[in-house]
């Protein structure tokens, strides 16, 4: 065994914030459907508690065995609209409370799946679930919600987009006394992956097995340090190689943890999500990687190109390191969770428009962005529609998680604390798209040939 | 045949008398067989890497990690014990 390699690993963990971001257990609730809401709730609570009872302890044991911090242990469940549709007389908020209680009982820090998949239209339960999201997120602590409004194969459901603009705003309003945190737990997707382990967008897709372990890796700090060490002499081909090599190592660690967790919990291993997920810790920032490549500040012209290089190299390095890759896989750009992005946004260099362009080449979308509280629901719907269009046309996942800062204006700040961080309220173009949004209907699925 | 399990102990910190003695005493007490030791001193920093066989150890690796944490704190050193699989998986294809 090579001493330098051993010390390299230890340095990555001790000084460069290398960690496994999350072990997420996906649990199917399809067998808990029952027209009697009390019975359905009982089955859901029991199943989650039974399957996940050792999840947190197993994560802690693996941390101590390998010396790798595993930051989060989480649960993703079948989209609740599929379950609540069987109990049309009751509010789906009831199920949110059951999920919250189960999450608290097993000790996980988030439970995802208060979700609906409405890209092609609304099924039983979907309307009620969408309308209940603000109340559900205001009255629970651990529940995360997501709604898929579009896909490359189905097009964009603009009726859902219209609703979601209003629902995002109402969610923020109902939690205005808690820094509008409800909106930070709500994601609107296009092309949502069914095996994503990262919150707030995790849910257990209907095509998944009964129970599965998915792992999300992290490590922006490690990539940044590798680029810094390489000095200024490298050209971008060499930088891409360097990122690939680093991503390989990070992912191998994730694969090891995933396999070990799967073995200990006797649950099949699903996927490793090869993501560079930043944290507010200084150094653990995707923006700093881009700046390390030579941009004076994240948001400068050239940022989209640098991010495209980073995103692609992370995937190429990671794919070979894991037997099964999935989820969101790529570089995340959540503004309030990334020290470099926060600085760039405060200085005005990083704008919403630039972020939108960046989402065309990164792994997710407009993520953790605080917008002024007086922004109209139609403008939020417009933001969602733009983002969904980028995802739909480019056959990629895109998402919107914006937080309307109720009572605040551009330049003021929100502070969520913990992994969600905090950051400046960013100005938004206030020209109204209301007429377009209120037309409703669908944007048809795009042609998959004649690509220009 | 019992599969042998190995772990890597790393010690990093300011050099002083008796580091190797204290760490290896702990190994002996816990029933770990020391297979390899390399150490070097870079400027004032002491760096030691030990490969140990933990198959016959009286404690689980997670408990050993706590014990070495405590020992490290008392000596003002960083002592890690980590299962060898992490290094094998990260650095070997």
- pTM of this structure: 0.91
- Domain range enclosing A397: 216-443
Asked, for residue A2, whether it belongs to a domain, the answer is no
In a domain, B56, yes or no: yes
CA distance B76 to B44: 14
Q: What pLDDT is stored for residue A5 in this prediction?
A: 86
Contacts of A34-42 with CB under 8 Å at 24 or more apart are A34/A86, A34/A87, A35/A86, A35/A87, A36/A87, A37/A87, A37/A90, A37/A94, A40/A83, A40/A86, A40/A87, A40/A95, A41/A94, A41/A95, A41/A98
Amino acid A117: pLDDT: 96
Q: What is the pLDDT of residue A54?
A: 95
Nearest to A9 among B51, B66, B87 (CB): B87
Q: DSSP assignment of A1-67, as one string? A: --HHHHHHHHHHHHHS---EEEEEEEE--GGG--SSHHHHHHHHHHHHHHHHTTHHHHHHHHHHHH-
Cβ atoms of A78 and A28 within 8 Å: the answer is yes
pLDDT value for B2: 67
Nearest residue in B to A253, CA atom = B90
Average confidence score pLDDT of chain B: 88
- Same domain? A226 vs A174: no
Q: Please check whether residues A165 and A32 belong to one and the same domain.
A: yes
Nearest residue of chain A to residue B83 (CA atoms): A66
Q: How many domains does chain A have?
A: 2
Distance CA(A433)–CA(A95), nearest Å, equals 35
- Domain assignment present for residue A448? The answer is no
Which of A311, A305, A308, A306 shows the shortest CA–CA distance to A276?
A311
Q: Is residue A350 part of a domain?
A: yes
- Consecutive H or E run containing A302: none
A171 plus A230 within the same structural domain: no
pLDDT of residue A239: 94
Is residue A202 in some structural domain?
no
Residues 6+ apart with CB under 8 A from B37: B20, B48, B49, B50, B51
Residue B1 belongs to a domain: no
Test the A interface: residue of B9, B61, B89, B92 with most A CBs within 10 Å? B89
Number of independent structural domains in chain B: 1
Q: Are residues A181 and A250 in the same domain?
A: no
Asked whether residue A311 is domain-assigned, the answer is yes
Q: Is residue A122 part of a domain?
A: yes
* Average pLDDT for runs of 10 along chain B of length 93: 84 89 91 91 85 88 89 91 90 82
* Within a domain: B35: yes
Question: Across the strands, what pairs with B41?
Answer: B46
Cβ within 8 Å of residue A240, ≥6 positions away: A309, A312, A313
Handedness of CA A57, A207, A115, A153 (dihedral sign): positive
At B1 the pLDDT is 58
Tell me: do A129 and A254 sit in the same domain.
no
Of B47, B62, B90, the CB nearest to A253: B90
CATH number, position B59: 3.30.70.260
Q: How many CB pairs under 8 A join A and B?
A: 62
- Is residue B22, in this structure, part of any structural domain at all? yes
Domain ranges, residue B51: 6-91
Low-confidence stretches of chain A (pLDDT < 70) are: 1
């Amino acid at each position: 065994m090579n001493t330098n390699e051993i010390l390299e690993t230890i340095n990555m963990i001790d000084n460069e914030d290398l960690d496994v971001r999350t072990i997420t257990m996906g649990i199917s609730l399809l067998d808990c459907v029952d027209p009697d809401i009390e019975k359905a709730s009982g089955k859901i609570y029991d199943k989650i508690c039974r399957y996940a009872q050792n999840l947190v302890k197993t994560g802690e044991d693996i941390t101590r065995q390998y010396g790798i911090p595993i930051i989060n242990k989480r649960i993703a469940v079948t989209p609740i609209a599929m379950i609540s549709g069987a109990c049309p007389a009751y509010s789906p908020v009831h199920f949110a409370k059951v999920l919250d209680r189960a999450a608290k009982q097993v000790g996980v820090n988030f439970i995802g799946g208060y979700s609906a998949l409405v890209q092609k239209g609304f099924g039983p339960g979907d309307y009620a679930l969408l309308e209940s999201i603000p109340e559900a997120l205001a009255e629970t602590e651990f529940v995360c919600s997501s709604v898929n409004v579009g896909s490359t194969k189905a097009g964009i459901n603009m009726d859902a987009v219209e609703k979601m603009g209003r629902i995002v705003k109402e969610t923020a309003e109902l939690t205005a006394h808690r820094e509008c945190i409800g909106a930070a737990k709500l994601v609107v997707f296009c092309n949502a992956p069914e095996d994503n382990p990262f919150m707030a967008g995790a849910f257990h897709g209907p095509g998944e097995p009964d129970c599965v372990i998915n792992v999300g890796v992290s490590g922006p700090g490690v990539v940044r340090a590798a680029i810094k060490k390489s000095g200024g002499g490298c050209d971008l081909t060499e930088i891409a190689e360097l990122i690939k090599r680093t991503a390989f190592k990070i992912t191998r660690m994730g694969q090891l943890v995933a396999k070990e967790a799967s073995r200990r919990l006797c649950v099949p291993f699903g996927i490793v999500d090869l993501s560079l997920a930043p944290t507010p810790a200084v150094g653990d920032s995707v923006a700093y990687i881009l700046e390390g490549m030579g941009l004076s500040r994240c948001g400068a012209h050239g940022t989209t190109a640098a991010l495209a290089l980073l995103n692609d190299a992370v995937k190429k390095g990671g794919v070979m390191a894991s037997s099964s890759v999935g989820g969101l896989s790529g570089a995340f750009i959540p503004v309030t969770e990334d020290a470099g992005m926060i600085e760039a946004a405060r200085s005005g260099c990083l704008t919403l428009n630039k972020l939108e362009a960046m989402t065309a080449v990164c792994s997710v979308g407009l993520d953790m962005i605080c917008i002024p509280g007086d922004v109209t629901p139609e403008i939020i719907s417009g933001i969602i529609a733009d983002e969904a269009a980028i995802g739909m046309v480019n056959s990629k996942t895109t998402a919107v998680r914006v937080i309307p800062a109720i009572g605040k204006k551009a330049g003021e700040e929100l502070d969520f604390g913990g992994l969600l961080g905090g950051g400046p309220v960013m100005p938004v173009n206030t020209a109204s798209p209301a007429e377009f949004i209120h037309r409703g209907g669908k944007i048809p699925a795009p042609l998959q040939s004649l690509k220009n | 045949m019992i599969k042998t399990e190995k772990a890597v102990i790393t010690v990093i910190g300011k050099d002083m008398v008796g580091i190797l003695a204290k760490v290896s005493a702990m190994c002996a007490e816990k029933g770990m067989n020391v297979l390899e030791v390399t150490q070097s001193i870079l400027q004032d920093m002491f760096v030691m890497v030990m490969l140990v066989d933990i198959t016959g150890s009286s404690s689980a690796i997670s408990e050993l990690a706590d014990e070495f944490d405590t020992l490290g704190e008392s000596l003002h050193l960083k002592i890690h014990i980590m299962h060898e699989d992490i290094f094998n998986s990260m650095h070997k294809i």
